[in-house]
Amino acid sequence: MRTGERADWGSPYDEGVSEIIELCRRAREASYALAAASRATKDAALHAMAAALRDNTETIVAANSKDVAAAREAGTPESTVDRLALDPGRVDAMAAGLEQLAGLVDPVGEVVRGYTLPNGLELKQVRVPFGVVGIIYEARPNVTADAAGICLKSGNAVLLRGSSSAAASNEAIVAVLREAATQAGLPADVIQGVPGDRAAVKELMQARGLVDVLIPRGGAGLIQTVVTESTVPVIETGVGNCHIYVDEDADLDLALTILLNAKTQRPSVCNAAESLLVHASVADQFLAKALPALAQAGVTVHGDPTVVAQGKDIPEAKDILAATEEDYGKEYTSLDLSAAVVDSIDAAIAHIRKYSSAHTDAIITRSQSAARRFTQSVDSAAVVVNASTRFTDGGEFGFGAEIGISTQKLHARGPMGLPEMTSTKYVVIGEGQIRT
Amino acid sequence: MRTGERADWGSPYDEGVSEIIELCRRAREASYALAAASRATKDAALHAMAAALRDNTETIVAANSKDVAAAREAGTPESTVDRLALDPGRVDAMAAGLEQLAGLVDPVGEVVRGYTLPNGLELKQVRVPFGVVGIIYEARPNVTADAAGICLKSGNAVLLRGSSSAAASNEAIVAVLREAATQAGLPADVIQGVPGDRAAVKELMQARGLVDVLIPRGGAGLIQTVVTESTVPVIETGVGNCHIYVDEDADLDLALTILLNAKTQRPSVCNAAESLLVHASVADQFLAKALPALAQAGVTVHGDPTVVAQGKDIPEAKDILAATEEDYGKEYTSLDLSAAVVDSIDAAIAHIRKYSSAHTDAIITRSQSAARRFTQSVDSAAVVVNASTRFTDGGEFGFGAEIGISTQKLHARGPMGLPEMTSTKYVVIGEGQIRT
């Protein structure tokens, strides 16, 4: 048996297990058919799912309006309600996303490496699906279709656990997708919603051996819970405390353009910049331009004493707050920015090592040796030279699809596309070889 | 900050943390220098470590004799004492292992993929060390040098936690290796032993954010403990309930040769066969030969009713025990074998799905379609056609080094060599690109 299996969810031969375990088992069983399915079958299923979403727009929007009404009644902020709400345009976008997946190369079956051993054994390392993937996510119901599509294309049965605030929407979407998958000859159970309360989610997180990997998508609180409470392996996604370091050899105009883009183009996302570091030798010159520009863009700066002092001399840049230790470690996801002056590139690297979430960190410099030192010494999922942090994204990286951005080091790091949703196995072909 | 970090081990700015956390922090600090070290430096360190082991053979063997004496006094079985015992020959073998590592390609810096994006950004995915690796292992003190060498070559600082029964040996080896690493200019703290009781190990397992990955090496009990109690990501190794399926189209002589090799050549290891499945149409013919041959090789067969009945007709094959459900799920690591007759290849695949530990499973067949069906449908780390299961091994696969055999699906699966001891990062080079 797999280690940890029986202790956690009972013998595989047990009767009378819980609803969640039963659901996991059905996913496992369905995963065998999906793993063996050809790309043609999977793409046909994706097209059927897209068509079914469009055909059932009315039902889906009606279900969603119940969630929206309940959210408004509960006093949910309008920005959150907006993320929750579906209209025919958003349903169509979900369908288009599934069609796009159908156009991508199938990662399953790719030979990662292969050679013949001295004894004549032919060895191949081949991409295979994980098997059963659990996605635990918040708010936006479009994740339901998106995650279901990515899992299906990569050959994985999926267990979808959305937030209770989107329960009616998710239930409607899952029902439509399941029915559509069967039209392509796949078992409906390759896509399942996970019902129940927190205890049910806890059971899902402990279903080691039945669920191969869990991917949480959402805020830091959700990710923290899944990471600490799961015995199923987890791929951690998302938290981004991204830095921009303006080197002594930086083109300062270019630095300012990049900083403003990274901070303000879409401040709510994980690859937005949260912290600015400036080399002391260019601090006066850079901050004299940057502080008014940031103020004009609506950015609140939380600065170290040097930055605060500098701000006092610039009338357009008043209201600079004093940064605390906590500020440096923070993912604001708002128009806030921590800022500090550093004496050297090494001090910048040390600051990043201490405070960064290791998502994306950038240096602005004209110096080849500074760029080399920064990219070698900063150990983040993405290390950027002379460009915005906002490019760390599966779409921008050309992956065609993205299930999330891993900020951990095991299995996948950075944007995760279809290949990151697979494992591998070795296939060894012989003609009677034995070990002596 | 990294998710899960503060909750588990306090703020990175805290004073007065425990000895274990302090040790982890020193490893983290030392890991930066090691990650930046060239292959030449790392190979020089490996050679210095090998020379130092040889120079200090007497000290190491003397320390080991204390462990051996204590083990004998505690009534430890002589086979376990033998695994624990070091002599000059075994110390020399440890040194030779380190020298062999120096000859292997450095995985750090390998460009896994790279291309230029439409906007001109140059994207590279590059192998980087994990950072800090914890190894928790049992008995054999040679693992101390072996694991330290593999971690050093792959650029990782290592925290070594051996069993208390080898404490004196491990302490002596670690002291020698640390001193030798400094001769090549590396910080001694790239190699550290983890002292203390079970509470200390528990702290190590919870040091998420300070330790990047834990690798347990040992029996199922140890692995189970590490898997369930760690918040640090774990790579699970080792449990092998390996199957040999003799297909209806098998060359039966070849099948018997492979079965005997896989079961008896070294029954204590994880890639030894533990279970035999035979297609019903060749069962009489195959078992008539196999049961006496297994009996002669000292193998105790635990058979299903068909196998037991067949055994009764073969005088040389008496004493076949009735297999229980538990037998089918068991890694015996002894001269025991479960055996069952199946009606079809699909029944064999279903049996393997139910009971296999997904380490290594083999089919013996002359049929191309049976081989294809088996290799596609059996989802194990290694799936073998017409060869012994005993080949699933880093050395046999040509990796040059092996830290263990992963039976999980995340990050690494099957034998883990140097590349499996790394993560990757994306390096993105631009000239002012911003996102619009």
Residues of A in contact with B234 (CB under 8 A): 233
Are B391 and A428 a contacting pair at CB < 8 A? yes
pLDDT exceeds cutoff 80 at B76: yes
- What does the pLDDT look like over B185-228, one tens digit per residue? 999 999 999 998 889 999 999 998 899 999 999 888 888 899 88
- What does the pLDDT look like over A177-189, one tens digit per residue? 999 999 999 999 9
- What does the pLDDT look like over B229-282, one tens digit per residue? 898 999 988 789 999 999 999 999 999 999 999 999 999 889 999 999 999 999
Q: Give residues with Cβ within 8 angstroms of B79, minimum separation 6.
A: none
- What does the pLDDT look like over A351-405, one tens digit per residue? 999 999 999 999 999 999 999 999 999 999 999 999 999 999 999 999 999 999 9
Are A213 and B409 a contacting pair at CB < 8 A? yes
The residue in chain A having the minimum alpha-carbon distance to the alpha carbon of residue B221 is A3
Distance in angstroms (rounded) separating the CA atoms of residues B292 and B311: 9
Are B261 and A427 a contacting pair at CB < 8 A? no
Q: Report residue B44 CA to chain centroid gap.
A: 26
Minimal C-alpha gap between A30 and chain B (Å): 13
Are B434 and A390 a contacting pair at CB < 8 A? yes
* pLDDT range class, residue B16, cuts 50, 70, 90: low
Q: Give residues with Cβ within 8 angstroms of B55, minimum separation 6.
A: none
Are A4 and B228 a contacting pair at CB < 8 A? yes
pLDDT of residue A15: 53
Beta bridge partners of B302: B321, B338
Minimal C-alpha gap between B385 and chain A (Å): 5
Are A411 and B414 a contacting pair at CB < 8 A? no
pLDDT exceeds cutoff 90 at A140: no
Are B411 and A411 a contacting pair at CB < 8 A? yes
Percent of chain A with pLDDT strictly greater than 90: 86
Q: What are phi and psi of A165, to 5 degrees?
A: -70, -20
pLDDT exceeds cutoff 60 at A9: no
Residues of A in contact with B156 (CB under 8 A): none
* B329 → closest Cβ in A1, A4, A414: A1
Residues of A in contact with B329 (CB under 8 A): 1
Minimal C-alpha gap between A90 and chain B (Å): 22
- What does the pLDDT look like over B313-339, one tens digit per residue? 888 886 899 999 999 999 998 999 999
Distance in angstroms (rounded) separating the CA atoms of residues A209 and A14: 15
Minimal C-alpha gap between A398 and chain B (Å): 7
What string of DSSP letters covers A215-243?
EEES-HHHHHHHHHH-SS-B--B----EE
Distance in angstroms (rounded) separating the CA atoms of residues A411 and B30: 24
Percent of chain A with pLDDT strictly greater than 70: 96
Angle at A219 between CA A218 and CA A225, to 5 degrees: 90
Residues of A in contact with B426 (CB under 8 A): 381-383, 392, 397, 413-414
* A426 → closest Cβ in B228, B355, B414: B414
Are A428 and B388 a contacting pair at CB < 8 A? no
Are B423 and A407 a contacting pair at CB < 8 A? no
Minimal C-alpha gap between A108 and chain B (Å): 11
Minimal C-alpha gap between A57 and chain B (Å): 31
Between residues A260 and A222, which one has the greater pLDDT?
A260
* B430 → closest Cβ in A131, A386, A431: A386
Distance in angstroms (rounded) separating the CA atoms of residues B206 and B208: 6
Interface probe with B: pick from A232, A345, A434, most Cβ of B within 10 Å: A434
Closest C-alpha among B262, B238, B239, B237 to residue B363: B262
Interface probe with B: pick from A3, A217, A361, A391, most Cβ of B within 10 Å: A3
* Lowest-confidence segment of A364-368, B103-107, B330-334, B386-390 by average pLDDT: B330-334
The residue in chain B having the minimum alpha-carbon distance to the alpha carbon of residue A326 is B1
Give a three-class secondary structure readout of B10-46: CCCCCCCCCHHHHHHHHHHHHHHHHHHCCHHHHHHHH
Residues of B in contact with A258 (CB under 8 A): 432, 434
Element (DSSP H or E) covering residue B143:
helix B142-153
Are B377 and A32 a contacting pair at CB < 8 A? yes
pLDDT of residue A6: 30
The residue in chain B having the minimum alpha-carbon distance to the alpha carbon of residue A125 is B382
Section A70-85 average pLDDT: 92
Residues of B in contact with A432 (CB under 8 A): 251, 254, 257-258, 386-387
- What does the pLDDT look like over A261-298, one tens digit per residue? 999 999 988 999 999 999 999 999 999 999 999 999 99
pLDDT exceeds cutoff 50 at B3: no
Task: Give residue B357's identity as a one-letter amino acid code.
Answer: S
Are A398 and B117 a contacting pair at CB < 8 A? yes
* A390 → closest Cβ in B329, B426, B435: B435
pLDDT exceeds cutoff 90 at A150: yes
A45 and A183 Cβ atoms separated by less than 8 Å: yes
Answer whether CATH 3.40.50.300 is correct for domain A19-236+414-429.
no
Q: Where in chain B is the domain with CATH 3.40.605.10?
A: 17-236+414-429
Phi-psi region of A139 (alpha: psi -120 to 50; beta: other; left: phi over 0): left
Section A47-59 average pLDDT: 98
- What does the pLDDT look like over B148-157, one tens digit per residue? 999 999 999 9
Distance in angstroms (rounded) separating the CA atoms of residues A259 and A294: 9
Are B387 and A428 a contacting pair at CB < 8 A? yes
Residues of B in contact with A239 (CB under 8 A): 2-3
Q: Which CATH class is domain B17-236+414-429?
A: alpha beta
Residues of B in contact with A236 (CB under 8 A): 3-4
Section B350-368 average pLDDT: 96
Q: Where in chain B is the domain with CATH 3.40.309.10?
A: 242-396
What number does CATH give the domain A242-396? 3.40.309.10
Q: Where in chain A is the domain with CATH 3.40.605.10?
A: 19-236+414-429
Pairing of strands A157-161, A191-193: parallel
pLDDT of residue A24: 96
The total of other beta-carbon atoms located within 10 Å of residue B319's CB is 8
**A-to-B residue pairs, Cβ atoms closer than 8 angstroms:** 256
Percent of chain B with pLDDT strictly greater than 90: 86
